[in-house]
Amino acid sequence: MTQQIHPTAYIAPGATLGDGIIVGPFAVIESGAVLGDRCEVGAHAVVHGHVRMGAGNILHPHAVLGGLPQDIGFKPETVTWLTIGDNNVFREGFTAHRSTKENGETKIGSGCFFMNNSHVAHDCTIGDKTIFANNVAIGGHVEVGNNVFMGGAVVAHQFCRIGSFAIVQGTTGLNMDVIPFTLVGGRPARHYRLNTVGLKRAGITGERYNVLSQAFRLLRHKKSLDVLEETEELKFLKDWLAVKSKRGVHGFVDVSAD
Which of 109, 140, 145, 163 is the catalytic position?
140
**Contact of 54 with 85, CB cutoff 8 Å:** yes
The C-alpha atoms of residue 245 and residue 197 are separated, in whole angstroms, by: 27
Is 140 an active-site residue? yes
Between strands 182-185 and 190-194, the pairing is antiparallel
CA atoms within 13 A on the CB side of 152: 2
Catalytic, out of 122, 141, 191, 250: 122
Annotated active-site residue in 66, 85, 93, 123: 123
185 in catalytic set: no
Catalytic residue list? 122-123, 140
